[in-house]
Amino acid sequence: MNLLLEIGAEEIPDWMLAGALEYLGAAVGDLLKQHQLGGSAIRTDATPRRLVVRAKELAARQDDSSERIWGPGKFAPAAALDGFAKKQGIEREQLELVSDGKVEKYTTLRTIAGRPASEILAEALPQLILKTPFPKTMYWTGKGGDRFIRPIRWVVALLDDQVIPFTVAGVTSGNESSGHRRLGAARIPVTCLTYEPALRANYVMLSADERKAKIRAVPTKYKCDNELLSTLVNLTEWPTPITGSFDPAFLDLPKEVLITVMRFHQKYFPVETADGALAPQFVAVTNTDGDPDGLIVRGNERVLRARFNDARFFWDTDQKRKLSERIKDLGNVTFQAKLGTYLEKADRMDQLVIALLVYAAKPGEAVTANDIREAKGRYAFGPDSPEFYAVRASRLSKTDLTTELVKEFTELQGIVGGLYARVQGEAEEVATAIYDHYKPVSMEDAIPRTLTGRLVAIADKLDTLRGCFRVGLIPSGSKDPFALRRAAQGIVKILAEGKLRLPIQSLCEGDSQLEEFMAERVRYYFRDIRGYKYDEVNAVMASGWNDLLDVEERLAAVREIRPTENFEPLAASFKRIRNILKQAQFEGGSFLNTGTSLQEKLLERGAETELYLAFKAAQVACRLLPDHLSRLDSISSLRPKVDVFFEKTMVNAEDPAIRQNRLTLLHMMLAEFSQIADFSEIITGTVNTKNQETK
Amino acid sequence: MPEQPNIEKPTFQEIVFKLKQYWSDRGCIIQEPFDVEVGAGTMCPETFLRVLGREPYRTAYVQPSRRPADGRYGDNPNRLYKHMQLQVILKPTPVDVIEQYMGSLEAIGIDLRQHDLKLEEDNWESPTLGAWGVGWQVMLDGLEITQFTYFQQCGGIDLELVPAEITYGLERLTAFLQGVDSVYDIEWTRGVKYRDVRYNDELQYSVYNFELADVPTLWKLFDIHETEAKRLLALYAVSTEQARFPLLATYDHVLKCSNLFNTLDARGAISVTERVGVIGRVRKLAVGVAEAWTSQRNPAPVEHTPVEEQAA
């Protein structure tokens, strides 16, 4: 038999359809499986007004099954047997004697008749439907009533042509679907077989792929944008694209503004000319079957004209006050209730940009408050140096929040500031930095184009992170209202891809939660974006991650040395060394408190001395060699000596002084070579387990 | 197809008449605009208070809605300090509410067969009223013409019967039907433009709200209305005659506070730190009235204490 379930609802938000279908398909699949109802080719579809699950080859009813009923034991009195048999509705003679695995008991097999699929589905579907996960549900039948994303108005539930009878949220299931709101019939009787053609005849194209193809089939060449395309597919039951145009005079406005109005406010595709410039045209997708008289095109054109006029009005109004005159207005714009205004944020960002400049000027060195104060005097008041531009850009970066254009098109924050800075005669370097400073807005987005932009972007994100962590607004689970993960990820991406040697860990100001949060983003970045193995990332970060460029160099070296024959066994030995030291509670000091330096005279001839000499040689080599890879190579070459040492030498010697000396040797090796990576973090497979067992 | 001559297109007031007639035919009480200044039709007692409780109610009314910050001195073709909403409340929501709504568009001369209509998610929330709901913005050929909201909570109270609130933006709808680009070019009635009727309001209130409103005076007024609303709410709590207590009058003062807040905000007089606090003050009053209203309509059952216990 075929199954059809159609939940007919008032318009479901477009972005929620995919999640609902994913759940419904899986839930129906599980239900059929759980009740052994067969079923194949489970297919889900959705339009704004319906969520549909279909399946083929269902069993009309479950197979009969049997259940063994256990009665009294072998030696039970006859009366007990009679009682048991009577209860089961059979004669005493029909009972069997079977072992339950321990003792023999009287028993019988009871046949359980399989239930009809319709009955099982009728019982389960209402709850299954109501459990569909939606981000924000509503009730509509009265307080305490069932909840769904929007009111359910009809339900089609059929096995072939038979209705599966149930009631959900006050709606009784039936065989009547509903067509397109304006073009189709309100009530359409269907069966599993006629369903899709019947919908089509009533202007509902059930398949999202088909709707997508119809939208793509417009003759006008537009720049397709998959996100918008998917929105429009999910907003329409019978999509028809139309092409409209606008007065080319509007092309004077920045294309960012025009595109935002079309793309985000009107859900239109912008059209490009052959040479890639913006054309005075747009493609709108209607939910209807055509526009023979051009009424719809004219309506959309009028709306767009009004929107563009608004934008022009805002642009002109905004020019009456320069960004530099708007700085103090930021005192009226909240950044976050506990963190004050954007004016306060801008002040903090200025400080941070200066600190970043100082750090960048002397990589790897400590920076004092005095350095920053001194630098501030130098940078903030000109001349037109890169440093001056950075501070200027930071100062002006948030002022566009007070402009009409950004109040209207918030998604253009930063971009509008950059455009205004340019027309108001700020240096190009400053304008570009402001324009870019919200970047990257996602992992796919590019980082700011210029160094100045990168510094301002980092200062902005870092200030948000520090502030939020300071007042306890820390993301937990999927809750991240201030997009702090994105901010931290942005910093990591800018540092790594912008090749900036800035001390990311130091910039966390010793806030251990923020450090851990940032470390997690660093880990994510190198693992999921750059493709390093997670143990390599852990090993390298365990040796420090303050300088992400250095992290990346070390990672590259570890990745390259890893397949060589000596590396993994050596890594296993390091794990062993670490365990030995841990067991001896040797923490860089001495378990005997007899001093920490190694005494060469206590070294045993043979394996121990050889290891020591090889270690000393490698240590020197590591200092002289120019790059991490050759250092790792030199360390790896120790492997045979380490192996022989562990084979021939007892670390836990009876003489405490010798024992101490050996632990010191191991500790020195571990400390020396852990500067590149903590090799004990490397997962080494079988060798590793064996060593752990013999530690 | 040539544009139809303007004479056949409905005027602003004809659209109002037709919508009122349409909803009157569907059982709505046709109310006149509420006579205290509000930012939206939702704030009128006909919506804010009537959606509470278990009594079914249907009403429709035009509400001039004041948004001081949206004033543009009459210069902007699409933005108004005071615009007109036609507000419909259907409590509880009929199952064919969207079909009824679509019928209302046909009633004012929109042949839906020839247009593109979409319902796009748009949820509504009013922090000052402690109210929220879910719904859509209704898009006609790319123009937002209506807000459609299923109320879920009002004055912080979960609603017993879920009402549908349909709010038509009358200027936009008329501009659409008349095919004009500026609201000021709308024909209000034959031979009279929207500009002729409303331009002075837009200009003068913009001057007042942005330039001349005296901030200390507005604050003083805010405090006076807040104090009065609070005083009344406190009196209600201990009143022995709650059934006749003037909660409607109390609510007027809450609305005054709300409008004063909006005016102060437009004047740029509310600092960041104050803002959340002031919204909270208005909400507290609104929630207080909503709770009192609910208890007034459904008095809590009087608990009878057995005589013996009283004696003990």
Chain A residue numbers touching B133 (CB-CB < 8 A): 138
- The domain of B162 spans 6-209
Mutation target for B interface from A140, A232, A264: give the one with most B CBs within 10 A. A140
Residue B158's closest chain A neighbor by CA?
Answer: A143
Characterize A321-343 residue by residue with b for buried, 16 or more Cβ atoms within 10 angstroms of its Cβ, and e for exposed. Answer: ebbeebbebbebbebbeebbbbb
Mutation target for B interface from A181, A305, A335: give the one with most B CBs within 10 A. A181
Lowest-pLDDT range of A41-55, A348-362, A681-695: A681-695
Contacts (Cβ under 8 Å, ≥6 apart) of B93: A140, A151, B150, B162, B163, B164
pLDDT at A590 over 90: no
Question: Are the beta carbons of A309 and B99 separated by less than 8 Å?
Answer: no
A342-361 helix and A369-380 helix, angle to the nearest 10 degrees: 100
Residue A182's closest chain B neighbor by CA?
Answer: B113
Question: Are the beta carbons of A341 and B272 separated by less than 8 Å?
Answer: yes
**Same-domain pairing of B104 and B152:** yes
Region of residue B17 (phi > 0: left; psi between -120 and 50: alpha; otherwise: beta): alpha
State which residues of chain B have pLDDT below 70: 1-7, 271-273, 300-312
The SS3 of residue B169 is strand
Given A10, A143, A303, which is nearest B160 (Cβ)? Answer: A143
Query: Does a structural domain hold residue B69?
Result: yes
Query: Does a structural domain hold residue B99?
Result: yes
Given A13, A150, A300, which is nearest B142 (Cβ)? Answer: A300
**Pair of tokens at residue A364:** 């790897």
Lowest-pLDDT range of A461-475, A515-529, B296-310: B296-310
**Same-domain pairing of B127 and B252:** no
**Same-domain pairing of B145 and B41:** yes
pLDDT at A685: 62
Using the 3D structure, point to which of B148, B175, B209 is the last residue of a domain.
B209
**Same-domain pairing of B197 and B222:** no
More confident residue, B25 or A509: B25
Give the separation between CA B216 and CA A105, rounded to whole angstroms: 94
Residue B160's closest chain A neighbor by CA?
Answer: A143
Spatial CA neighbour of A569 closest among A494, A660, A641: A641
Name the minimum distance, in Å, from the CA of B96 to any CA of chain A: 9
Chain A residue numbers touching B134 (CB-CB < 8 A): 136, 138, 150
Name the minimum distance, in Å, from the CA of B80 to any CA of chain A: 13
pLDDT at B146: 97
Question: Per mean pLDDT, which of A198-207, A390-399, A434-443, A602-611 is the most reliable?
Answer: A198-207
**Same-domain pairing of B123 and B233:** no
**A139 neighbors A146 (Cβ within 8 angstroms):** yes
**Same-domain pairing of B134 and B14:** yes
pLDDT at B115: 96
Characterize A232-245 residue by residue with b for buried, 16 or more Cβ atoms within 10 angstroms of its Cβ, and e for exposed. Answer: bbbbbbbbbbbbbe
pLDDT at A465: 94
Question: What phi, psi does A66 have (nearest 5°)?
Answer: -130, 155
**Same-domain pairing of B28 and B160:** yes
pLDDT at B6: 45
Is residue A98 exposed (0-12), middle (13-18) or buried (19+ Cβ within 10 Å)?
middle
Query: Does a structural domain hold residue B273?
Result: yes
Name beta bridge partners: B187: B193
Given A235, A291, A293, which is nearest B120 (Cβ)? Answer: A235
Using the 3D structure, point to which of B157, B178, B209 is the last residue of a domain.
B209
Is residue A620 exposed (0-12), middle (13-18) or buried (19+ Cβ within 10 Å)?
exposed
Q: What is the CATH number of the domain that holds B288?
A: 1.20.58.180
Name the minimum distance, in Å, from the CA of B309 to any CA of chain A: 37
Contacts (Cβ under 8 Å, ≥6 apart) of B304: none
Given B136, B142, B160, which is nearest A142 (Cβ)? Answer: B160
Average pLDDT, chain A: 89
Chain A residue numbers touching B67 (CB-CB < 8 A): none
Mutation target for B interface from A202, A261, A303, A333: give the one with most B CBs within 10 A. A303
Q: What is the CATH number of the domain that holds B99?
A: 3.30.930.10
Name the minimum distance, in Å, from the CA of A182 to any CA of chain B: 6
Give the separation between CA A438 and CA A456, rounded to whole angstroms: 9
pLDDT at A594: 45
Question: Are the beta carbons of A299 and B268 separated by less than 8 Å?
Answer: no
Task: Render A430-472 in DSSP notation, one character per residue.
Answer: HHHHHHHTT--SSSSSPPPSSHHHHHHHHHHHHHHHHHHHHTT
Residue A68: count of CB within 10 angstroms of its CB:
12
Using the 3D structure, point to which of B167, B182, B209 is the last residue of a domain.
B209
| pLDDT tier for residue A694 given thresholds of 50, 70 and 90 | very low
Name the minimum distance, in Å, from the CA of B303 to any CA of chain A: 25
Region of residue A218 (phi > 0: left; psi between -120 and 50: alpha; otherwise: beta): beta
pLDDT at A478 over 80: no
Residue A136's closest chain B neighbor by CA?
Answer: B134
**Pair of tokens at residue B12:** 């602003």
Write the CA distances from A321 to A316, A394, A400, B59, B71, integer angstroms.
10, 19, 11, 46, 19
Query: Does a structural domain hold residue B271?
Result: yes
Give the separation between CA B4 and CA A458, rounded to whole angstroms: 58
Spatial CA neighbour of B65 closest among B77, B81, B78, B47: B81
Mutation target for A interface from B51, B55, B90, B116: give the one with most A CBs within 10 A. B116
């360390």: which residue's tokens?
A635
Q: In whole angstroms, what separates CA B50 from the centre of its chain? A: 12
Name the minimum distance, in Å, from the CA of B103 to any CA of chain A: 11
Report, as an integer, the average pLDDT of A151-156: 98
Query: Does a structural domain hold residue B304?
Result: no
More confident residue, A590 or B280: B280
Question: Are the beta carbons of A341 and B112 separated by less than 8 Å?
Answer: no
Name beta bridge partners: A45: A52
Question: Are the beta carbons of B141 and A136 separated by less than 8 Å?
Answer: no
Give the separation between CA A618 and CA A625, rounded to whole angstroms: 10
**Same-domain pairing of B154 and B234:** no
Contacts (Cβ under 8 Å, ≥6 apart) of B158: A143, B152
Chain B residue numbers touching A13 (CB-CB < 8 A): 121
Characterize B222-237 residue by residue with b for buried, 16 or more Cβ atoms within 10 angstroms of its Cβ, and e for exposed. Answer: beebbebbbebbeebe
**Same-domain pairing of B250 and B182:** no
**Same-domain pairing of B127 and B234:** no
pLDDT at A600: 81
pLDDT at A333: 80
Tens of pLDDT, residues A325-369: 999 988 878 788 788 889 999 999 988 998 898 888 877 777 788
Find the helix or strand (DSSP H, E) in which A651 lies. none
Type of residue at A632:
L
């023999």: which residue's tokens?
A104
Find the helix or strand (DSSP H, E) in which A40 lies. strand A38-47
Question: Are the beta carbons of B162 and A141 separated by less than 8 Å?
Answer: yes
**Same-domain pairing of B32 and B170:** yes
pLDDT at A409 over 90: no
pLDDT at A638: 85
**B233 neighbors B250 (Cβ within 8 angstroms):** yes
Chain B residue numbers touching A340 (CB-CB < 8 A): 272
Query: Does a structural domain hold residue B310?
Result: no
Residue A143's closest chain B neighbor by CA?
Answer: B160
Question: Are the beta carbons of B116 and A302 separated by less than 8 Å?
Answer: no
Spatial CA neighbour of A199 closest among A215, A184, A181, A214: A184
pLDDT at A693 over 70: no
pLDDT at A256: 92
Chain B residue numbers touching A398 (CB-CB < 8 A): none
Tens of pLDDT, residues A542-562: 989 999 999 999 999 999 888
**Pair of tokens at residue A581:** 């030291």
pTM of the model: 0.80
Lowest-pLDDT range of A374-378, A388-392, B250-254: A374-378
Give the separation between CA A277 and CA A264, rounded to whole angstroms: 19
**Pair of tokens at residue B11:** 């005027």
**Same-domain pairing of B23 and B68:** yes
Residue B299 is classified by DSSP as P
Report, as an integer, the average pLDDT of A5-26: 97
pLDDT at A515 over 90: yes
Give the separation between CA A510 and CA B279, rounded to whole angstroms: 37
Residue A147's closest chain B neighbor by CA?
Answer: B152
Residue B177's closest chain A neighbor by CA?
Answer: A299
Give the separation between CA A688 and CA A695, rounded to whole angstroms: 11
| pLDDT tier for residue A373 given thresholds of 50, 70 and 90 | confident
Report, as an integer, the average pLDDT of A42-50: 97
Residue A303's closest chain B neighbor by CA?
Answer: B143
**Pair of tokens at residue A596:** 């920490």
More confident residue, B66 or A275: B66
Region of residue A169 (phi > 0: left; psi between -120 and 50: alpha; otherwise: beta): left
Question: Are the beta carbons of A138 and B272 separated by less than 8 Å?
Answer: no
**A289 neighbors A247 (Cβ within 8 angstroms):** no
Give the separation between CA A396 and CA A402, rounded to whole angstroms: 11
**Pair of tokens at residue B213:** 């409103």
Tens of pLDDT, residues A122-140: 999 999 999 999 999 999 9
Contacts (Cβ under 8 Å, ≥6 apart) of A334: A340, A341, A342, B272, B275, B276
Query: Does a structural domain hold residue B306?
Result: no
Residue A343's closest chain B neighbor by CA?
Answer: B272
pLDDT at B303: 58
Question: What phi, psi does A414 have (nearest 5°)?
Answer: 85, -55
| pLDDT tier for residue A569 given thresholds of 50, 70 and 90 | confident
Query: Does a structural domain hold residue B114?
Result: yes
Residue A553: count of CB within 10 angstroms of its CB:
16
**Pair of tokens at residue A223:** 């720049």
pLDDT at B276: 79
Domain count, chain B: 2
